[in-house]
A = this chain, B = another copy of it.
């Protein structure tokens, strides 16, 4: 019987009556918190299905002090890598559902007050914080509120928290290692928009650090530049870069929206890819594949899954590692090759 009409809510008492047991027994069948005989369990479950029973979320939350809802705090600021965020969000929802939790969407523009509200009203059991900055004001708040939380990205001080992130530093290193290994002696990072660095966003800073460190290690010249969004801006920034450093033969791009324009612009500037310039990107796998890009994919799904899993552990008061860094892997495709002599 699929067609239950809302309004005439089926309650646990209805199920109990239908199955000829006490309401508490129904509860125990559903939660598994006490042993119930197979026959009783069978009868109860049959009644549940027959009546189309769904526990009332509010009542359950009130009585059990668990809402079975987690909050996903999305930034939605300028310079965001929208498709990455989206894939991440779906992974979070899917994984949370698998743990019998729902996801409340919170935008960062409510700011710290939003966290207070959510914590105070017991709307959610825990929080997933995205786009964490190196010095993020929400982080101490999270600690203070004693609200179980998992961060995507990691702040400078991650003590007492749980963070998940791609190891962007290593990703930056990988890109340069690849280029250096192919004989490139002068490389450049075309990074995130300047505003993103200014905010102190971890992934941007860490990638840059990785690029520069690896360049240093390999004795390669490296220059790092921010890059704004939009085809025209990308083109301008790229032209400026190549004007200032005409002998760059390896380009690391970490700006999803710049990838297309960069590949489109290089030929116009007289540089063929990969003959004259090799391009390596840190961007969603999808995009890289479409454009035949060599690069390090950002595993949005994997991060989302891990984040939820960690949060669920915290909700069960299990110990979780403070920092979980995913190992980046570089995929070689068509946009990179040996350096021109």
Contacts and interface: CB of A to CB of B under 8 A. Distances in A.
Interface of A: 2-7, 9-10, 52-62, 67, 69, 72, 74, 76, 82-83, 85-86, 89-90, 93-94, 97, 102-107, 109-110, 116-117, 119-123, 144-147, 229-233, 260-261, 263-264, 290-292
Nearest to A61: B58
Given A54-B121, A57-B122, 4 more contacts: A54-B117, A74-B90, A260-B261, A261-B264
Contacts of A61: 57-58, 61
A104 B263 CA distance: 39
> Which of A6, A105, A233 has the most chain B CB atoms closer than 10 A to its own CB?
A105
A107 to B, nearest CB: 5
B54 A58 contact: no
A58 B232 contact: no
Contact of A105 (B3, B104, B122): B104
A144 B94 contact: no
A127 to B, nearest CB: 11
Contacts of A94: 107, 109
A230 B259 CA distance: 12
Given A7-B146, A82-B86, A102 B102 contact: no
A122 B9 contact: yes
Instruction: Kindly report how many copies of this chain are found in the complex they form together.
Output: 2
Nearest to A289: B230
A290 B193 CA distance: 15
A216 B155 CA distance: 59
20 contacts: A2-B116, A4-B120, A5-B145, A6-B119, A6-B145, A56-B121, A56-B122, A57-B121, A57-B122, A57-B123, A58-B59, A72-B105, A93-B105, A102-B106, A102-B123, A104-B104, A105-B105, A231-B263, A231-B264, A264-B264
A69 B82 CA distance: 25
B144 A5 contact: yes
Nearest to A287: B230
B109 A232 contact: no
A121 B4 CA distance: 12
A107 B88 CA distance: 12
A153 to B, nearest CB: 18
A6 B149 CA distance: 13
A85 to B, nearest CB: 7
A239 to B, nearest CB: 15
A291 B97 contact: no
A121 to B, nearest CB: 4
Contacts of A122: 6, 9, 56-58
A44 to B, nearest CB: 17
B59 A76 contact: no
Shortest Cβ-Cβ A-B pairs, 3 listed = A54-B120, A58-B61, A230-B290
A84 to B, nearest CB: 10
Contact of A86 (B86, B110, B119, B146): B86
A104 B93 CA distance: 10
Nearest to A102: B104
